[in-house]
Chains A and B, each alone.
Chain A
Amino acid sequence: MSDDFEKNLRDHLHHEAEETREFPRRLRGRIRDGIAPRTRARMVPQLALAGALVLVAVAVLAFRNPTIINVVTTDIKSILQPSPSPTPKPFTCSDQSGGTLGQTAQLTAIRAASHESDGYDRIVFDFNGGIPSWDLTRQESATFVRDASGQQVTLDGNAGLKLVFPGADLGSSVPADLMPGLKGVREIANVGNFERQLSYGIGLASSQCVRVLELSGPSRLVVDVATSGGPSATAAPTPLPTAPPSGTDLGPFTCLDHSGGTNSGSAMQLTAVRVAHQPGFDRIVFEFAPQAGATAHVPAYTVSRQASAKFVKDPSGLPVTMRGSSGLRIVFQGASGVTSYSGSRDLTPNLPVVQEVEQLGDFEAVLSWGAGLSQASCIRTLELTNPTRVVIDVQTP
């Protein structure tokens, strides 16, 4: 039998339950940690047994030949000493990536210091547990887009580097923002810590070439940023690369992140996504329409280049791997396709460079798409009207 009281109870329970609006990210992270393989923990008994056997063997040997102690001590010292720095690599003016895929590690410290006499500023990222995979991309501004939220953050400086560590956690003592105020490196700020992907923006005084070194004992990723006029930078800093226009007057391709549009007025509605090849480039078009009674405008957007075709969905945090080996992340602020876009949200055109275009998120008027590319390519963006479109041209070989 149901009466008004039971109806009120049912309504109340639903209302109270909906106060929990989403599944907390921290809880998802705790669950993920809980199911992660614990090879080290499982190996503890075996390691303890092996260690005990080694100690017994050393004791027996020492009893029979005391000089063995010196040999063992020397060997242990050589194992425990930090590895010597490798031969310096040249500075390069391109995006870079490295590390160990699938390696999970915790970032424990960030340091920055000037090596002015050697012509560079050095940033060191210390890790506990090895060096995770990393992607370093250069950009022509010090403005970054925060992961997950899509908010823009502008650091000190006129150019930037974005360093992303998929598979890394953040230690509790690592500051969120460093302002070393060096000649080249002006600011280092966390711009993402979401679903075990750490992202850092580095504000630079000007566009400079970089070299990245992976060191062990302890695990460190070293980013050296050339400072202009440095006497020993192997390669002099060069301007960021710019490719010529391909026979049209649409502007040059640049190997940089792009941004534009305006985040004003009501959210624009995504109506179409098209991908096609043109001579010299693959073209991705996002078409928008204003809401009823609103004025059309190009929504604020950022196009971020990345050195892999792996993306993170917004807001679920689920990893997505698209076709290709490189990628573009396209984020529109003040735009949505929830009610207006009925086309495919995963296009696989198999063009010369653009291999896949997939929606990554459409949440609270932040619309995210990713593009998987067969190779890292320079891009140009165009803002067109009637209808409102954002065009991303990806240069082809």
Chain B
Amino acid sequence: MLMDPALGRVIARWRDGDRDAFEEVVDRYGLQLLRTARLILRDEALAEDAIQETFLKAWQRIGSLRDEDPGPWLTRIAMNESISTYRRRHRFQALTERFGRLGGGRREVSSEARLDLALALDQLSIEQRAAVALHYYQDLSVEETARTLKVPVDTVKSRLKTALRRLRELTGSEEALA
């Protein structure tokens, strides 16, 4: 995607190491990325950690940005960071739960429960939530979602299909499928 000239000048300054220019990019894309990470991670502090890492990596890796709108590039980094952050947290949580030091975590749901969408989204896998957030929140096509997550298109289709079925089940909307 081609950049508008003003944004191109900001990116050029960023490439020259101009921190003010970089902060303009943070201002421009930060909120959208943070909201997406929050939808995926379901935790404000984790989302902030992921977006902090996203921008720090972006600052270091500006050389890998081609002459394109940085939005999709930043989103790719943010998705990687969100999933990595979740996995790190999940491993730690599993370890601490084993020793009984950290309770909570994922909410237990009975099969009879009729959850609202927020609780139902908690029950999806991190990969499913990433696909759902990009496709239904960021309005990316299935192909764009696949490119952003660096997985095949069929994998995204499968994740979306499974996620929707699970959400319908959890919210009591499965009859809508018929």
Q: Which residue of B lies closest to A21 (CB)?
A: B31
Of the listed stretches B19-27, B66-74, B94-102, chain A binds B19-27
Do residues B38 and A20 form an inter-chain contact, with CB atoms below 8 A? Answer: yes
Tell me the residues in window 2-33 of chain A with beta carbons closer than 8 Å to chain B beta carbons.
3-6, 8-10, 12-14, 16-18, 20, 22-24, 27-28, 30-32
Given contacts A34-B59, A35-B56, contact A13 B133 (CB under 8 A): yes
Q: Which residue of A lies closest to B48 (CB)?
A: A27
With a cutoff of 8 Å between Cβ atoms, the chain A residues found around residue B156 in the complex are none
Judge if A316 is at the interface, Cβ distance under 8 Å.
Answer: yes
Do residues B38 and A23 form an inter-chain contact, with CB atoms below 8 A? Answer: no
Q: Shortest beta-carbon distance, B17 to chain A, in Å? A: 9
Q: Which residue of A lies closest to B116 (CB)?
A: A12
Q: Which residue of A lies closest to B171 (CB)?
A: A5
A16 to B40: give the CA distance in the assembly, Å: 11
Tell me the residues in window 39-71 of chain B with beta carbons closer than 8 Å to chain A beta carbons.
39, 44, 48, 51-52, 55-56, 59
With a cutoff of 8 Å between Cβ atoms, the chain A residues found around residue B118 in the complex are 12, 16
| Total contacts A-B at CB 8 Å | 80
Q: Shortest beta-carbon distance, B159 to chain A, in Å? A: 14
Judge if B167 is at the interface, Cβ distance under 8 Å.
Answer: yes
A397 to B133: give the CA distance in the assembly, Å: 61
Do residues B52 and A10 form an inter-chain contact, with CB atoms below 8 A? Answer: no
Contact of B117 among A4, A9, A17, A319 (CB under 8 A): A9
Judge if A80 is at the interface, Cβ distance under 8 Å.
Answer: no
Do residues B136 and A318 form an inter-chain contact, with CB atoms below 8 A? Answer: no
Contact of B176 among A3, A23, A36 (CB under 8 A): A3
Do residues B31 and A10 form an inter-chain contact, with CB atoms below 8 A? Answer: no
Do residues B30 and A23 form an inter-chain contact, with CB atoms below 8 A? Answer: yes
Judge if B131 is at the interface, Cβ distance under 8 Å.
Answer: no
Judge if B132 is at the interface, Cβ distance under 8 Å.
Answer: yes
With a cutoff of 8 Å between Cβ atoms, the chain B residues found around residue A31 in the complex are 23, 26, 52, 55-56
Per-residue 0/1 for A349-372: is the Cβ within 8 Å of any B Cβ (1 yes, 0 no)?
000000000000000000000000
Contact of A9 among B19, B35, B132 (CB under 8 A): B132
A319 to B20: give the CA distance in the assembly, Å: 8
Contact of A17 among B39, B48, B173 (CB under 8 A): B39
Q: Interface majority SS on B: helix, strand, loop or mixed?
A: helix
Do residues B167 and A9 form an inter-chain contact, with CB atoms below 8 A? Answer: yes
A30 to B44: give the CA distance in the assembly, Å: 15
Do residues B23 and A32 form an inter-chain contact, with CB atoms below 8 A? Answer: yes
Do residues B117 and A8 form an inter-chain contact, with CB atoms below 8 A? Answer: yes
With a cutoff of 8 Å between Cβ atoms, the chain B residues found around residue A17 in the complex are 35-36, 38-39, 137
Given contacts A5-B176, A9-B136, A35-B19, contact A30 B117 (CB under 8 A): no
Judge if B79 is at the interface, Cβ distance under 8 Å.
Answer: no
Do residues B48 and A318 form an inter-chain contact, with CB atoms below 8 A? Answer: no
Contact of B52 among A3, A12, A14, A30 (CB under 8 A): A30
Given contacts A3-B176, A9-B167, A35-B59, contact A27 B20 (CB under 8 A): no
Q: Shortest beta-carbon distance, A79 to chain B, in Å? A: 34
A28 to B55: give the CA distance in the assembly, Å: 10
Do residues B27 and A20 form an inter-chain contact, with CB atoms below 8 A? Answer: no
A32 to B19: give the CA distance in the assembly, Å: 8
Do residues B52 and A27 form an inter-chain contact, with CB atoms below 8 A? Answer: yes
Q: Shortest beta-carbon distance, A346 to chain B, in Å? A: 15
A17 to B38: give the CA distance in the assembly, Å: 7
Do residues B137 and A13 form an inter-chain contact, with CB atoms below 8 A? Answer: yes
Do residues B27 and A316 form an inter-chain contact, with CB atoms below 8 A? Answer: yes
Judge if B142 is at the interface, Cβ distance under 8 Å.
Answer: no
A293 to B104: give the CA distance in the assembly, Å: 55
Q: Shortest beta-carbon distance, B147 to chain A, in Å? A: 20
Which of A18, A23, A318 counts the most B-chain CB atoms under 10 A from its CB?
A23
A171 to B178: give the CA distance in the assembly, Å: 61
Contact of A27 among B34, B136, B167 (CB under 8 A): B34
With a cutoff of 8 Å between Cβ atoms, the chain A residues found around residue B133 in the complex are 13
Q: Shortest beta-carbon distance, B29 to chain A, in Å? A: 9
Tell me the residues in window 253-274 of chain A with beta carbons closer than 8 Å to chain B beta carbons.
none
Q: Which residue of B lies closest to A24 (CB)?
A: B48
A3 to B167: give the CA distance in the assembly, Å: 14
Task: List 4 A-B pairs, minimum CB-CB distance, nearest first.
Answer: A17-B35, A13-B137, A23-B30, A12-B117
User: With contacts A9-B132, A20-B44 known, what are 17 further pairs, Cβ within 8 A?
Assistant: A5-B173, A9-B164, A13-B137, A16-B39, A16-B118, A20-B35, A23-B30, A24-B48, A27-B30, A27-B34, A28-B26, A28-B30, A30-B48, A31-B56, A34-B56, A318-B23, A318-B24
10 residue pairs A–B, Cβ–Cβ below 8 Å:
A4-B176, A8-B117, A10-B137, A13-B133, A16-B38, A22-B31, A24-B34, A24-B48, A31-B55, A34-B56
